[in-house]
Amino acid sequence: MNYFSSDFKLGILGGGQLGKMLLNDTRKFDIQTLVLDPSEEAPSRMSCNAFYRGNLNDFDTVYQFGKMCHVITIEIENVNLEALEKLEEEGHLVYPSPKTLRLIKNKGRQKDFYVENNIPTSKHQRFVDIKDLQNALDKDELDFPFVWKSAEGGYDGNGVKIVRSALDLYNLPEVECLAEALVPFKNELAVIVARNAKGDIKTYPVVEMEFHPEANQVEYVICPARIDKKVAEKARAVALNVSKAFNHVGLLAVEMFQTEDDEIVVNEVAPRPHNSGHYSIEASYTSQFENHIRAILNLPLGNTDSKVAGIMVNLVGEEGYTGQVVYENIEKIMAFDGVTPHIYGKRETRPFRKMGHVTIVNEDMAEARKIAEEVKNSIRVIS
């Protein structure tokens, strides 16, 4: 099939910042792209060939949108899977497949999948709702502390809470959930795997994630991770096993813990471009976004090696500010060597909302980390 400068149409479900960054590469290759998103002001709106506003969970909306496309992909997991299954039955290519999405979308099912496939992960218990979980505590079938997760719909630190006592259970939503054992870890790591329909597969270098202590959001993504080479090799091997087990096509971001004794434990995955791979736009030979396009179109995968050390800093809305966004001191950070800001196109800021990111590249990792700290301390996302 001729994808380039042709009548071929790629459909993207979701029009957020991941879609916007994917579209940089569809434009580079002159691939016609259609986007569906519920928001009139979706960041992807400005870059696609055709934008459709609609509910991603509505069967008819997703089905009618998909019928216009030859290949359909996602930038968010929360989409109507029945519509995608029908489209797949009718001969439309859907990557990642609805089958893979079904396994991943529900975090309880995802954890069960790891256990069934001998993939190292923390112990977990699934519950119908918070009352069911409370019942397990009352019967001594569950002990504090544990990590509470909503089974579906969590993102950017929402839907996750460390529960140390009964007090921490107050105000948790009445949804299907799971309790995971707390893992004592040295580092939070991630590996992005690219895989096309032919089964060609490549991993990006291991990245290290530094988290905000309160928001449970990534503050810095550091590539390469500052870990022992053997641990890095083990993390990449585990990521490959996870990818093969899911049999996914496209990108799979595998988030992991490096335990105190240097074992690798899988936390969760995302079957799409991921925050932990944003550094790759400036630092890699082939960005995660380009490789996602290559993978879902069954094209040869690009080189996943880094050209240079890269650190990514998330730009999130500052506490106490809601309204029309202002990026304070952006000119100051743009004066630093190797600094590239990415602004997502969200007009309205609110506390901890992801509004953009900044990549810092440098031959010297220590210098990159120092500049990243300056960037973090200089720029403010306010209103």
Residue with tokens 């870890």, as numbered in its chain: 185
**Sheet strands (E) in 159-289:** 160-163, 177-180, 185-195, 201-203, 207-211, 218-223, 250-259, 264-270
107 in a labelled binding site: yes
Non-local CB neighbours of 353 within 8 Å, separated by 6+ positions: 316, 317, 346
254 in a labelled binding site: no
Handedness of CA 101, 104, 105, 108 (dihedral sign): positive
Handedness of CA 236, 242, 245, 249 (dihedral sign): negative
267 in a labelled binding site: yes
Q: CA-based angle 311:317:320, to the nearest 5?
A: 140
Cα–Cα dist 337/216, whole Å: 29
Phi and psi of 352, rounded to 5°? Answer: 70, 5
Rg of the chain taking only CA atoms, in angstroms: 21
142 in a labelled binding site: no
370 in a labelled binding site: no
* Closest among 300, 308, 282 to 365, alpha carbons compared: 308
For 239-253, give the DSSP string.
HHHHHHHHT--EEEE
Written as six digits, the tokens of 26 are: 């569809």
Residue 78's SS3 state is: coil
Residue 339's DSSP bridge partners are 360
In contact, 307 and 283? CB cutoff 8 Å: yes
For the chain, the distance separating the N- and C-terminal CA atoms, rounded to the nearest angstrom, is: 47
Q: Residue ranges for the binding site?
A: 107, 149, 180-183, 188, 267-268
Which residues line the annotated binding site for ATP? 107, 149, 180-183, 188, 267-268
